[in-house]
Amino acid sequence: MDLRVGDIVQTRKKHPCGSDRWEILRVGMDFRLRCLGCGRLILIPRIKAEKSIKRVEVKSP
């Protein structure tokens, strides 16, 4: 998957706040994501992140 910092992605499952849109803040072995609903920051392994992403909504330039 070609993901970059600044991309907005939609996940398969919703966050407890009700949003399923996340902004990618860091890419590497781990991904840092920010929920666009409540602003919560999470750090998850690359494999888990790639499996949970449904689609990329906005690509960064």
Query: Tens of pLDDT along 19-36?
Result: 999 999 999 999 999 999
Q: What is the pLDDT of residue 58?
A: 85
**What's residue 60's pLDDT?**
72
Classify residue 3 by its DSSP letter: -
Q: Two tokens at 37?
A: 């609903």
Q: Residue for token digits 């920010």?
A: 34
